[in-house]
Structures are given as C-alpha cells and as structure tokens.
Amino acid sequence: MSTAEATADVNRTRWQLMDRGRMISEMTDLKAEKEQWMTLQRVQKEQIDLDLKMAYLNRIDRLDRLKELIENHESEWFEALYSDLGKSEMESYTSEITTALNEIAYMKDHLKSWMEKETQLNRKAIGKSEQSILRKPYGSVLIISPWNYPLQLTLVPLIGAVAAGNRCFVKPSEKSQAVSHLLNKTLSHYFEPEEIFVVEGEADTAQALLEMNWDHIFFTGSSEVGRNVYEAAARTLTPVTLELGGKNPCIVDGSLCTRETVRKIVWGKFLNAGQTCIAPDTVYVHASVKEQFTRLAVETIREFYSREPEKSKDYGRMIDEKHFDKIKSYLTQGDIVYGGSGRRETLFIEPTVMDNIETDAPLAKEEIFGPVLPVVSYESLHDLLEMLKRQDAPLVTYLFTDKSSHIDEVEQAIKTGTLMVGQVIFHGADPKIPFGGVGNSGMGRYHGRASYETFTYEKVLYHQKKDYANKMIFPPYKSGALNTLRKVRKWFG
C-alpha cells in the first residue's frame, strides 16, 4: 500500500471519532482496534521522511504545540493530578509541569546544532575519504508511561521523541485515569493521529500494542513489567529504553548529619507520598548519629506536614487500594518510630519512620514506593558498601558526607545509575543531565541531548574522494606490494 493510499485509509475511518485521534470507546474487540492501530502505525512510519526539507521547523512547531498543551491547560492538570494522587498545586507544578516545560526549552535551544551533520575528511593509505554521521529518527515509537508522575513521565520522553523527528503512540497508565483522559483529550486536540496518538486501556491493551512492530519502545515502570516489555521487543529486534526503579540507598555518615541534610532526605522521601522512583528508599546512618538523625527526621515530618498530615494540603495519597494494602503490610516488618496510621477509604498513609527492620522481610528487599522510611545504622562504611554491592544496582545512590575520601570510596564500590552527593532528586528534573539506570534499574538514558540520541540512530555516509592504492589491494598481489603498503601506512600515520 502506498503512503497516499494508507493516508486515505486513515482519513476514511479517522477512527470514527468526534475528537481527532481519540480511540473508539464503543469498541470492545481488541483485535479490530489493533488492526486500526497498525494502519495508523504504517502511516506514521511512511510519513517520517516526508518533511525532511522542513524537518527542523516542523519539529519546533510540534514542541511549541506541546508547550501550549501544558500551559493552556494548567488548571486542568492540577485538578487531574489531585484527583489521581492528591498532589498539591505546588508539587504538581514543580515536579510535573516545570520539568516538562524546561525540557522543551532546552530542546529548542539546542535542536538545530544536534541536527547538523558531523563530517570528517580523512587521508589514509588507500586514499582520501569523507565520512558523515547523520542522526535519523527511528520512525513510529511506542511510549508506555507510569502512574506516579503521569504527566511528566509521559511528556518528557515524548518531547525527546518529537524533537528527534519521530511519530508516536502513547499508552498512559490506566491507574492515573484523570491524567490519562486529559492526555488523550489534549494531545488529540493539538496533534493529528499521524503525529501523536493516545491509546487508553488496561494491561491487555498494552500487550496488544507490544505485539506490533515498532521502531523503538520507551517504557517507564517496574522491573517486573520491564522484563516483559524487553521480551516483547526482542521478538522483533526492536530497540528499547527501560526506565525502571530499585532500592535507592541513602548513606549519611557521621560528618554530615545536620538538620539541612535531614530536611532534604525527608522532602525527597515523602514527595508524592513516597511514590517516586528516585526517592531515598532506605537511609543508612552511621551508628554514632542514628539517634540524632531519627529525632531530626520526626521533627522535620511534623514541620512539613504538621502533627495531622491527613489534613495537610501538601501531602499526597496512594494511587489505589491495592498499593495502599502493599504499603500498609510493610508496617508490620519492623518497629514504628513515628507515624504508621492510615485510612484505606481515603488512600492515606501517614509519613512513617521505622527501625529494627527484619533482614529477610519484603521491606528490606523490595522497592518501597511509599511513605515508609527505614533507618538502618552501620559501623563501617566498608562493610556497608560490601553489603550494598550484593544488591541489584539502584537507579540512584545518595551520599551525605563532607569527606572526599568517602565520596571516592562509594563511587568506586557501588554500581548505580547516578551517585548524588549532598542532595536528592534534583538531577531527575535537569535536562542537561542524562537520566537512567543500570542493570535491574534500567537501560538507556534520556533528558536533553540523551533523549535526542535515544530516539535517533546514527546513519553513516561514506564517500571515497580519491584512491591511492586500488591497484595494490586487488589480487593477484604483486611482489613487494605489502612492503609498499607498510611504508604508505606509516607515512599517513
């Protein structure tokens, strides 16, 4: 089928929608839906090369439309994020909206230079050649986003994919329904389905999408589901980026257990009610300052959220009852120092500090992803690092110390996506810093230049300008040719 025919097919059906790009809500036959997705996917793939002469301007235009989508509907994003996660407007703006807008601004500032062809002229023993490297968009990209930061973790990879020149399918999480519906509504309004298309649905919908032949898959979520995505991508040899999670250790030595350190850790832990993939998971505090740390942590929680955090407008909620039950189950696996209360009907769990964690308990092994802060003491940094080395590589490791030797020791010992010293979480919102994990915490990087490289492939253009030794390199080989080539190679370095 030609591009024109495929486009006509899409235009004839146009998914029988009142709003452009919205999925047919009445359809219950997933197989029929998938056939329509495949028709649109084919159009997306074939239209990648249609705008090459105007590629830069078209990409900037799409970035501008994404910016308008965010700014023009700010109050609606606030309402949706509060509905799904109980997020305050301040938290929604700083951790969701601002991150996406900063990403767009950074992309627009640097996109032109990133799109330029890199060319080198080489003189070698066989002749003179010109090599160029061009970064080309993959084509039709599938982005599967999670529920914990449903706006930011959908839009930031989408911004990178669009800046790189791709067309996209977006599958937001079914758990964050309010944001998912609003993403569908706004993206369908600002973009044609041939540019960006949103698919809402449950796990079977995601599975059906993964069975299609994508040019790239970008997934953010749990390690368990990430493995399934990786297996699906392997069947079609599709490149994949996995942004996963893990138990991010936070080490506080005896030199920097200050009120400011504790404020940073408590803020990072209980942001979004602990439902953050780069939150400090467990704090390892030197035994000499453990009591001080715990006291400061309790004081800081009260300072941030009052003695009645359920009434605080700045404290969020669990995403659903299933997640509430999982987090509540952790509270029996050690001693509660502070907090521990909850209300299932409102999905509220109090900011909680715990001690004496059972070594083999799920709380000690699983990514917590909730408002529970285990505090574990250590005597020897070397012994602590030996223990942490036996765990899966985390997405990020946090370290609070004023000793450069400790920084060097942790950097050398721990395999981690990021080592952050003296601060928490900020790196995840900076478009200048590549973001991603390693091993069980993910593969691939994004944000800024890393996003542009993730969503493009390198295409090499090799042009032989002049030959010096063609007659010598073809058989039958003449006597003395090898010595001649040796001399020529040395002359060219």
Q: Which two tokens stand for residue 100?
A: 């996406």
Known active-site residue 367: no
Q: Which helix (H) or strand (E) holds 382?
A: helix 381-389
Strands (E), 39-89: none
Ranges of H-type helices in 133-289 = 152-163, 177-190, 203-210, 223-235, 259-270
- Which candidate in 277, 350, 367, 453 is catalytic? 277
Per-position b or e across 119-138, b if 16+ CB within 10 A of its CB: eeeeeebbeebeeeeebebb
Nearest to 132 by CA among 114, 118, 121: 118
Angstrom CA distances, 149 to 179, 353, 441, stand at 10, 24, 17
d(CA 135, CA 429): 25
* Sequence letter at residue 283: V
Q: Give the whole-angstrom CA distance, residue 273 versus residue 276.
A: 8
Helices 177-190, 74-85: inter-axial angle, 10-degree rounding? 150
Tokens of 449: 């230049």
Q: Is 266 helix (H, G, I), strand (E, B) or coil?
A: helix
If 0-12 CB within 10 Å is exposed, 13-18 middle and 19+ buried, where does residue 321 land?
Answer: exposed
Is 96 catalytic? The answer is: no
What is the rounded end-to-end Cα distance, in angstroms, of the chain?
Answer: 52
User: Which one of the listed residues 200, 243, 350, 453 is annotated catalytic?
Assistant: 243
Q: What's the CA angle centered on 182, arms 161 and 327, to 5 degrees?
A: 90
DSSP annotation of 458 reads E
Query: Angle at which helices 404-413 and 381-389 pack, to 10 degrees?
Result: 20
Residues 6+ apart with CB under 8 A from 254: 286, 288, 289
Residues with catalytic function: 243, 277
